[in-house]
Amino acid sequence: VSPTKTAARPTLSRERVVQRALEMADDDGLEAVTIRRLATELSVTPMALYWHFKTKDELLAGLADRVLEDVVVPEPVEEWAEDLGALLTALITAMRPHPQAAQLVMPRMMVHPTGLELTERTLARLTGAGFDPERAGAIAVQALRTVLAMVTGDPVDDSVMTAAERDDHLRHKQALISSLPADRYPTLVAHAVALTWCPADTFLGTGVDLFVAGVRSLAPDHR
């Protein structure tokens, strides 16, 4: 008899586990992703997961790959710096819904095909703009870090929190900054709101703009 008809097919799969883990990371932070919690939520023994993943790190790598799979590699643009911006934005777009899992992407960039493709094109455009290999490499690495830095967590505090706590938290922060001695930190106090509540789109845009502008003005072929 075919196993698909009679026997219960395996309830678990790498995909199902990774999916659930990603949701947990999004909701409760990366440190809430636990083999044991994951197991009970999937109605299974902790050890069941070890059939599908050799270790917890492998599972986390699965999360990173899952994020990279969501990347839509953009059509090439003629102007090289603009193209760089598009590549960064593509990565940001995929990572943004999963800021927690995004932290895991770095070590997977040189393993996952999408990561490789993005890196390849970044390097190609940088060398095309006249950067020597060493400098191009350094800038490419910096680009990745910049993206991660932009996507990862809250600007002022990294502690994980539910959306519910968030407002209170921000207000608390603003109050804290506002209560600083204004004679010592005049600009800081005046900018309290801008520093804590900073609209995500403005923020992300600034990061990309900054990077692209910087690269452009450092380019050897820059007239």
Which residues in 43-102 contact DNA (CB under 7 A)? Answer: 44-48, 50-52, 55-57
> Taking the complex as a whole, how short is the minimal distance between the CB of residue 145 and a second copy, in angstroms?
4
Residue 35 tokens, joined: 């083999």
The terminus-to-terminus CA distance of the chain in angstroms comes to 73
- Mark the segment that binds DNA (CB under 7 A) among 42-50, 70-78, 104-112, 140-148: 42-50
Residue 173's Cβ-side half-sphere holds a number of Cα atoms within 13 Å equal to 21
Residue 132 tokens, joined: 């020597």
Residue 122 tokens, joined: 């970044």
41 binds DNA per the rule CB under 7 A = no
**The only residue of 20, 35, 96, 137 in contact with DNA, by rule CB under 7 A:** 35
155 binds a second copy per the rule CB under 8 A = yes
Q: Which does 46 bind (CB under 5 to 8 A by kind): DNA, a second copy, none?
A: DNA
Three-class secondary structure of residue 76 per DSSP: coil
Three-class secondary structure of residue 101 per DSSP: helix
Q: Tokens 């698909």 belong to which residue?
A: 4
Decide: residue 188, CB within 10 A, 0-12 exposed, 13-18 middle, 19+ buried.
middle
Contact set with a second copy (CB under 8 A): 106-107, 109-110, 116-117, 119-120, 123-124, 127, 133-142, 145-146, 148-150, 155-159, 173, 176-177, 180, 184-188, 190-191, 194-195, 198-199, 202-203, 206-207, 209-218
Contact set with DNA (CB under 7 A): 10-12, 33-37, 44-48, 50-52, 55-57
